Structure 1
Amino acid sequence: MSRELGPVDHGRLLEALRLEARVLGEVAHSASAEAPVPTAPGWTLGELLRHVGSVHRVTLGWLREGRKPTQWQRVPYQDESVADYYTSGTEALITELAAHDPAERATTWWPADPTYGFWRRRALHETLVHRVDAERAAGSVHPAVPADLATDGVDEILTLYFGHKLALLGLTGTRHGTVGLRTGGHSWIARAGPDTMDAWRCSVSDAESADELVSGDPANVYLWLWGRAAPTSVITSGGHDLAAQLWALLRLATR
């Protein structure tokens, strides 16, 4: 039986990945490839689609080679459209993920979860966040994010990126303190400082006892943590400095 590290089970993650990947492709097809992506300054919609296609291919390389690949197809072939490049890479990754039990061991960059399930979750949120980017580029003001996936994404970005990726990059905070986060019936604490960077799930009372508390609708908290929503989209109590530090550190971890 597969272990579930997040609020959403692995079957739902794979189902959602299929849907998000299809919608991203459809949105990109419906708009100009030269449309700027407001939530990813400097990118066009075509460049965003190429990026996701490349990420899906490097993920497939991790799974097939048992390590991070040194080479993979990063751009379309000369006679290949960006849309075809994206579609073929996405379909290959989903097929690979679906063919393996999520509990099966796989090489990952997070020691806490060396399984195929890690990659289901990571591929979903990579695709979901960029689907939001694509819809913004296509003119949608408020792209929808399902509440259960948003809550799972809050868990992932806190435990994986804040609690692990920052340490891999050798990055720490400048101010000591804790930020509690509460959304979708779940709560977390993110602790930062010059000598510690970690995050974990906690009770509601523990989150509310943190130095600062961030709360709101799951989609808003998720998109805010990913730098896709304004500070006013979440509610911050107890101050703003530590929440701002959390947000800034995540920009470094997820760039």
Structure 2
Amino acid sequence: MTGRALVDHDLLLEVLRAEVGLLARSAEGARPELPVPGCPGLTLGETVRHVGGVHRMALAWLRGGTRPVHWQRQPPVGRALTEFVLTGLAELLAELAAHPAEEVCSTWWTVDQTYGFWRRRMAHEATVHRVDVQGAAGLEIDPIDEQIALDGIDEVLTLWFAHRLTVLGVSGTASCKVAVQAAGHTWLVSAGPKGTAAWRTSEADAAQAQAVITGSARDVYLWLWGRVSNRHVRVQRDHDAVAQVWALLRLATR
């Protein structure tokens, strides 16, 4: 499937629209200095500003065909952060919707050079940061659809853990394999001095792993992004192997 996604790319476009709208509503009237739970040093205002800037970065990349050097990262003087994020969303959505998901374009992942990559990446960017904003504002965290969470697990493992750590030249210290399981899906994660990798596999292959991480799709998704603690997932067997994967994920996704 284009973009390696587990769900339809039109759905991912709708997720992007809905999640950013929810993020903006959750931030409305909240103090920008409120800290984001689980992300030391990150505040509600910085999160909203970041999302608005990322939308403009992606739009500049799509229109220019190469990684941009400059893009608008701050709202104009006197303009609200929520307006900044919503206007950026509107332009990005229009650009993404104007091109089929399978159409070729420049991205930062060699495996997927299509508009589908950006639909998927922006949808998960919005979902994770919506959770951040709601947590900072002290609101109840809205649910995440199971299929979206499963696709998010796949994205963080294959794009961030496997690809980005390789690009950064970061590897593990001890060789290990960890299985990640949620809602009938299984991934194997490999880390060690020779590098990192992650791939979809069958439940039977989990037996070759030193450790297994299980939980609901939503909890595993947020755990991989560092948004919930170990008490939200179940860790079996080698806890040191899981600790190494956790530490590498924090480097990959920061």
| Normalised TM-score (structure 2) | 0.96
Q: Distance between the aligned counterparts of 1:235 and 1:196, measured in 2?
A: 25
1:69 aligns with 2:68: yes
Q: Distance between the aligned counterparts of 2:183 and 2:140, measured in 1?
A: 22
Q: Which stretches in structure 1 are left out of the alignment for 5+ residues?
A: none
Q: CA deviation at 1:108?
A: 0.5
- Please show how residues 151-230 of structure 1 align to structure 2 within 5 Å: 151-230=150-229
After TM superposition, what 4+ stretches of structure 1 lie above 4 angstroms from structure 2?
none
**What amino acid sits opposite 1:158 in the alignment?**
L
Aligned in 2, Cα 1:49/1:16: closer, same or farther, shift over 3 Å? same
Q: Distance between the aligned counterparts of 1:157 and 1:175, measured in 2?
A: 21
- 2:248 corresponds to: 249
Q: What is the SS of the residue equivalent to 1:237?
A: strand
Q: Distance between the aligned counterparts of 1:45 and 1:210, measured in 2?
A: 38
The number of residues matched between the two structures is 254
Conserved in 1, the CA contact under 8 Å of 2:102 and 2:115?
A: yes
Indicate the larger mover: 22-31 or 73-82.
73-82
- 1:8 corresponds to: 7
Q: What is the SS of the residue equivalent to 2:188?
A: strand
Q: CA deviation at 1:208?
A: 3.4
Q: Distance between the aligned counterparts of 2:168 and 2:128, measured in 1?
A: 22
- 1:78 corresponds to: 77
Q: Distance between the aligned counterparts of 1:64 and 1:193, measured in 2?
A: 38
- Amino-acid identity (%): 48
Aligned in 2, Cα 1:208/1:183: closer, same or farther, shift over 3 Å? farther
State the Cα deviation string for residues 163-222 of structure 1 (Å, max 9, x = none). Answer: 100011110001101001111221110100011211100001102331111111001100
Conserved in 2, the CA contact under 8 Å of 1:37 and 1:136?
A: yes
Q: Which stretches in structure 2 are left out of the alignment for 5+ residues?
A: none
| Normalised TM-score (structure 1) | 0.96
